[in-house]
Amino acid sequence: MSFNDDDKEKLTNTEDKENKEILNQDDEFEYVEVDENSDLDDDYEYVEVDEDSELEDGYEYVEVDEDGNEISQGTSETTPAPAEEELSEAAQKINDDLNPPQLANIQLEYAYLGLLFNNPKGISVYYFRYDECFFSNEALENLYKIVIFQDGEKYAPPQAKEGFSLPIEDAQTYDMKLQLKGAVSKRNFSLEQIYTELKKLFTLKKSFLNSPTKKMQDKILEIASYKLYKQMSVEEVESAIEQITVTNKLSQAVLNDNVTSFLLAGESNLTNGVEIPFNILSTVFKGLRKGETMSYAMPSNSGKSRFTVNLAAHLAFVEKKKVLIISNEMTEDKMKLCLITTILNNEKMQEMHGQKLSKTEGELLELRFRPDEKAKGKVKLDEDGFILKEDDETNAEFTERLSKVSTEFNQTIKVTDWVAQQIENSIYFIHVSEHSNEDLRKIILNYYYKENIEYAFYDTMKTEIADIGNGEELKKTATILSTIAQKFKIFIASSLQLLESSTLPVNLTINDMSASKTVKEVLDTLCLIKQINNQTLSKYEYSLTDDYQKCFDLEPSPDPDVRYYACVVDKNRAGAKPTVLFRLNLAYNHWEELGYLRLKQEFIQI
C-alpha cells in the first residue's frame, strides 16, 4: 500500500488557513521534496521559508545526520506546489470514500502520525480502537498500523491492536514516514491536543457513517460548525450526537420563523384536528390532532375496547383515515364483531352504507334474524321472533335459507360487504400478548411505513410482564408513544385501567388511576370515565352549555344495557377541562354525548 500523488500534494499544503488555525501554524513552511532516485537515506527536516526568499519554483530541503546536524542544503527542481483550488479537489477526492468535506482534516491526521513516529511511547495513551479509527484513506491507516505494530509495538496496549491487520511497508511509505517526522520535529505541537481534535473528528465520522437518515447526517455535520466547537471536549461532542439522536425523534424549528404565514394560514396542527362524534370533546380537544397522544381510563369491563372501536370506526369510515389498533385485550374475532356492530348501528355510517337497522352484538354473533312478514308462517321462530336453525342444518344451509326469508339478514350482509370494500381507509389490527416497548414501537412504525397509518390505538396500555406493578415503567411506555406521535405526526390513543373505588364519577382524579400517576405528565389529553350508579342518577343533572342555565335530569332506562358515564377531562393541553355526560348502549356499541355534567346543588359534597 502506498501514497498516490494526491496524498503527497495534500501533504505539501501548509497554507490552508483552516488547518493552520487548528495546528497553531503562524508561519509559512514547505515540505522537503523527495526525489524518487535520491540516494539520501537520512531524515529531512521542515524548513521555514523567508518571505523574501527567491526560491519560487522548488522546495528547500536540509539533509541531516542521525544527530540532527546539517550536512548539505540545496533546492530541488520540481513542479511548483499546486494551487489552493487543486489542493481542495485533492482533499475532496481523498475523503469522498469515507466522509464529506466538513469532516475532512487530513493535516490533522498528518500531525498526529508525525508526532507518534517521533515519540512512539505516545501510543500507550493516545491511540484509537479499531471501531473508532477513521483515517481519511487506507494509506494513512496503514501508517497508523506501522506505529502500533512496529515503531510503537512495545508501547501499544492490546486493545489498541485488536481488530487491525498487519501493515504493509515499502519505499514510499518509508519516505512518507520520514516526511511526517520531519514535518513536526521543529513544531511545538501537543500530542494530547492533536489527538483530542482528531478523536472529535473520528467520533463525528463514525456517527455520520452509522446514521440511518440523511437528516441525522446533516445534523451531525452541523456539530463541526458549532460556534464553540473548538472548545468542546470529546465527551461533549458525544453528548451533542446523543442529543441529535433524541431530538431527531421530535419536531424542531425556529419559533420566530414564518410566524406571519403561520398566523394567517389558519391550518396549523392546533386548529385542524379531525372531528370526533362527540361535539363537546371535539371542541375542547380541537379534534384529534396528529402528533398528540390521548388516554382514556375506565374500570375493568366498562367498555374501553368498545370505545376504542367506536372512535376507530369513525376515523376510518367517516373521516376516511387509515387506522391501526393494537390490542392486548380483545382478540381479532371479538374486535371484528364489535366493529360490525358499531358500523351497523351508527347513524352517520348508516347514511354511508345505506342500510338502516338495529342489531345487538349478541344477535349478530348468534345469527338471530327476524323473517319478512310473508315468510312468518313458513319458518320456525323462537320466543323472541327470530328464525330458528334446524337441528340437522349446516351453517351454510342456514345462511342460505336466511337470505331467502329475511330482509334484515340481507341488509346486514350488504353492510359487511360495504365494510370489506373500504380498502383505502382500512382498520389494521394487531393482537399482542407478551410484548415489550420495543415491540410496540416496531409495530407502529412498520404500519406507518407500510400503510401510512395516521391514527393508532393501543388497548390497553400496560407495562411489560416483568414490570407489572411498576408505575414508572408505564410512564416509559407512554413516553415512547408520545415520541413516535411527535416525530411521525401520528395521533396515538390508549386506554388505561381505572381503580374500582368509591370516588364519585364527577370527582375522579389522577389518584383513581390503577397505574402510574406520572403517566399524566406525558399525555396531551387524559379522560377519566366511570359509570354512574343507576341508584344515584337523581343526584346529577346535565346542561347543553357550560353555564348550566337550563339543566336536565338523567332519565333511568328499563334497558339494562343502557348506562350513563361521567367523563372527566383531567388533562387537556388544548384548553378547557369539562366533565361530560355519556349515555351508551354497549349491546349496540352506541355512545351518545348528552352535555355538561354536574351534581345537583343539594348533593354537592363539601
Across the 606 residues of the chain, what is the mean pLDDT of every consecutive 10-residue run? 43 38 37 36 37 36 44 36 42 50 89 94 94 92 94 94 93 90 86 94 91 84 86 88 66 58 57 85 92 94 93 93 91 91 93 93 93 90 93 91 94 92 85 84 87 91 65 86 92 92 92 79 94 95 94 93 96 93 95 96 65
Detail the DSSP E strand segments found in 276-322: 293-298
Can you spell out the DSSP letters for 249-287? TS----TTTTHHHHHHH--STTT-PBP-S-HHHHHHHTS
> What does the angle CA 208 – CA 211 – CA 217 come to, to the nearest 5 degrees?
55
Detail the DSSP E strand segments found in 405-506: 427-431, 455-459, 491-497
What pLDDT, on a 0 to 100 scale, did the predictor assign at position 210?
A: 87
CA distance 557 to 151: 93
Closest to 387 in 3D by CA, of 395, 377, 378, 379:
379
Read off the C-alpha cell for 226: 458549532
What pLDDT, on a 0 to 100 scale, did the predictor assign at position 405?
A: 94
Cα 388 versus chain centre, distance? 54
* CB of 510 closer than 8 Å to CB of 523: no
CA distance 62 to 60: 7
DSSP-derived pairing of the beta strands 491-497 and 455-459: parallel
CB half-sphere exposure, 584, CA atoms < 13 A: 24
What pLDDT, on a 0 to 100 scale, did the predictor assign at position 184?
A: 87
Neighbours of 416 (CB within 10 A): 16
Q: Check if CATH label 2.40.110.20 holds for domain 279-369+406-603.
A: no
Cα 461 versus chain centre, distance? 19
What pLDDT, on a 0 to 100 scale, did the predictor assign at position 162?
A: 94
End-to-end CA distance of the chain: 88
Detail the DSSP E strand segments found in 337-490: 427-431, 455-459
Q: Which residues contact 380 (CB under 8 A, 6 or more apart)?
A: 387, 388, 390
Q: Which residues contact 158 (CB under 8 A, 6 or more apart)?
A: none
Read off the C-alpha cell for 319: 373521516
What pLDDT, on a 0 to 100 scale, did the predictor assign at position 90?
A: 41
CA distance 370 to 357: 12
What pLDDT, on a 0 to 100 scale, did the predictor assign at position 588?
A: 95
pTM for this structure? 0.59
What pLDDT, on a 0 to 100 scale, did the predictor assign at position 78?
A: 32
Tracing cell 406520572 back to the chain, one arrives at 518
Amino acid at 266: G
Residue 47: enclosing H or E segment and its boundaries? strand 47-48
CB half-sphere exposure, 142, CA atoms < 13 A: 15
Q: Where are the domains of the chain?
A: 5-210, 279-369+406-603
* CB of 495 closer than 8 Å to CB of 296: yes
CA distance 123 to 149: 11
What pLDDT, on a 0 to 100 scale, did the predictor assign at position 258?
A: 64
Dihedral sign for Cα atoms in the order 19, 24, 28, 33: negative
